[in-house]
Amino acid sequence: MKEEVYLIDGMTCAACALTVEKAVKKLAATETANVNLTTEKLRVTYQENALTSDDITKAVSEAGYQAHLYLSEVEQDLPKRQDEKSKKLWQQFLWSSLFTIPLLYISMGSMLGLPLPAIISPMQAPKNFALIQLLLSLPVLYLNRSYYQSGFKSLFKGHPNMDSLVALATTFAFIYSLFATKQILSGMAHYQHSLYFESAVVILTLITLGNFFENKSKSRTSQAIQKLLALKSNEVRVIRGDQQELIELSQVQLGDQVMVKPGEKIPVDGQVLSGQSYVDESMLTGESVPNEKKVGESVYTGTINGQGNLILKVTKRQEETFLAQIIQLVENAQSSKAPIAKIADQVSGIFVPIVIVLALITLLFWLLVMKEGMTFSLSTAIAVLVIACPCALGLATPTAIMVGSGRAAELGILFKSGQDLEQLQAVKTIVFDKTGTITQGQPQVSQIINLDPNEKDLLAEVASLEAMSEHPLGQAIVAKAKAEKLVLTPVQDFKTITGQGLAGKIKNQEFLVGNKALMESHQVTLSQQLLEQVATLPEQGTIVYLAKNKELKALILIEDQVKLDSQKTIQELHKSGIKTVLLTGDNQRTAQAIANQVGIDQVYAEVMPDQKAQMIESLKGKEGLVAMVGDGINDAPALASADLGIAVGSGTDIAIESANILLMHPQLLDLVTAMSLSRKTIHIIKENLFWAFFYNVLMIPVAMGILHLFGGPLLNPMLAGLAMSLSSISVVLNALRLKKVIL
């Protein structure tokens, strides 16, 4: 399967987005096709050998739109495109206003008691009165011709959109006004009351103004991406021979040597070849204290170099850097479609045709049944066409998802998709890994009980074995040995025994290092006295057993301190009615002690790594929607098995691959923030959908003249156009509240 993203030009409403989706889904090899109206992107998954990019762009073109293969936000420069579009719309509005304002004055002046020269007075010169309005309206129609190009093209292809409603409404108003002008020129001056040139041009001008404000508001929803892009450097100082050369970032190659001076942004992902400095990595970790970087250590794009000079070797292409991956994740989340959007999609697919039918019914009802005459009937039908707003429906979900995921990114929380953002607020059970999630993930040796006073080198021997392992408990023992400046010894026949520990030979002596189960499986005797001694040790610590030639020699107590915010996090989750579970490979005694300390409801201890995913699957069947929270390093299968995988404080490739949500900072309370943001985003979406539906359900009957039937007011087409524009803008502005909401 291959996934590609395309920029779509020409979309104006939800009906457009649905049309593009349907056109691409008709292609035989298409697996999925999702269009996001806010970002104007199409995301397609298809069978690579059976379909090409040209096939996709052709299908979109035949549907009446243009598709361009999208590379990344870096290359495409979304803010620049949005600024250009806003500038174009503003100029279009200003030029339209230049003709609309005098036209409105001339057409409405006599009714409002405003002075008009006799040469264009409706009473004294009705022919001039009609002709001047015709001449003033033509430039406005030309300036706003895009509505007709898009609207009629879509209408003739059988999938009318928002522009179709605008095009039909203003065309009917203009054509009827042309007919009235002909009658006036023929001597029938009373047709001056049937001129609707001002309705056509005011509708076009107001809708253009509405589109301008809508586009400006939408551009604010992409500020999270803009802030991330601002972390990148444009130029890089590359070392070529004995010379330093300043080149563009795009020209940097893998393996290049890059010089970074004090205070500069680090422009690449790389490895320190020479120099030493402290680097501000707060954009990645949230930690305000700079990290020391020495030879051999990794640095990342967008971080800030401190006081030292660094020479780096480039280890990642620009599209593969950690910052690029973050940008890609945010883009994916903002352009993806949440399941709740299906409601709007289903309505949008039939909305515009229904509105056209309702406008026709309105025209015929007032003309034939109520005998109101063509002028009144046409005005009412035009109001129906103009006031209907599928745009509000189409923008309701994607704007909130875009702002919500963007706000999350600013807080160091990365959602992979809109679906993940929607699902998080529905989670009923959260399963936590212990090490590095509930605890700090930096275990330390707190006590060594030497059972054989004649053995002086036990710590060095056990550290020699543990040096062969990547296990964090083992690394704590190695760190202890190094701190005491002990010399490690070569190990022979080393092997890892899954879920139990290590085995190996040192100077032909057999060693076992691990848990109680390892001792029992190798028939190492554990005396009653020993077991009593074990019982006196702190519960939250982990006991490592050391046996030499199948004789127990030492106990090593390793403790990993609980994170400062773990207890507060669990308390907040309980307030939301969420069940908490601890899932760990550690022993029952230690796991239960940690759970009791922070308030976790249920404990599953001594679970093998390969059993964690199975345990998650079993919980999913009986505990509702289940999320798994881990560091994304050694619990990737469990993260992938959960309904939602959440990686804490990890920027590893494995975490990015296996988790649905990344908490970039080590603070566990960010999980509570993520859940709060998820709830508020879905609340905003539901508000938007409600008001979009409510607006259309309420205003369309008003435009049809229901109130007028009972002596109430009739909606003017110009006011209808203003109301339609305001409804779209209000949806976007409501979504933007997420940028300032207190979490």
Integer Cα distance of 532 and 209 in angstroms: 81
Integer Cα distance of 84 and 20 in angstroms: 24
Q: Is the pTM higher than 0.85? A: no
Contact between residue 13 and residue 349 where contact means Cβ atoms under 8 Å apart: no
Domains of the chain: 2-70 (3.30.70.100), 92-225+358-396+685-740 (no CATH), 235-326 (2.70.150.10), 413-438+563-664 (3.40.50.1000), 441-561 (3.40.1110.10)
Residue 74 has a pLDDT of 46
Q: What is the DSSP letter of 550?
A: T
Q: How far is the CA of 332 from the CAs of 1, 219, 402, 405, 582, in angstroms?
A: 17, 17, 10, 10, 31
Contact between residue 480 and residue 455 where contact means Cβ atoms under 8 Å apart: no
Q: Which of 103, 105, 92, 176 has the alpha carbon at shortest distance from 142? A: 92
Looking only at the bridges linking them, the beta strands covering 66-70 and 243-248 are unpaired
Q: Is the dihedral of CA 564, 566, 570, 576 positive or negative?
A: positive
pLDDT along the chain (743 residues), means of 10: 88 84 91 86 90 92 88 57 86 96 88 84 92 96 94 87 88 92 92 87 88 78 71 87 87 92 92 92 70 90 90 90 82 75 75 92 95 91 86 81 89 89 95 88 84 77 89 86 89 89 92 92 82 73 88 87 93 96 86 93 86 89 89 76 87 69 90 96 93 89 94 86 83 88 68
Integer Cα distance of 179 and 194 in angstroms: 9
Q: What's at 524, amino acid-wise?
A: V
Q: Which of 374, 379, 375, 344 has the alpha carbon at shortest distance from 359? A: 379
Q: Quote the crossing angle between the two packed helices 669-704 and 374-387, to the nearest 10°.
A: 170
Query: What strand order describes the sheet that includes 509-514?
Result: 444-450, 551-559, 542-548, 509-514, 501-506, 492-497
The single residue of 433, 631, 643, 670 carrying the catalytic annotation is: 433
Tell me how many degrees the CA angle 342-347-352 measures, rounded to the nearest 5.
140
Place of tokens 């529905």: 426
Using the CB atoms, write b or e for 66-95: b if 16+ within 10 Å.
ebeebeebbebebeeebeebbeebbebbeb
> Residue 376: phi, psi to the nearest 5?
-65, -45
Residue 671 has a pLDDT of 96
Q: Which two tokens stand for residue 190?
A: 């009373």
Integer Cα distance of 323 and 303 in angstroms: 10
Active site residue 653: no
Residue 170 has a pLDDT of 92
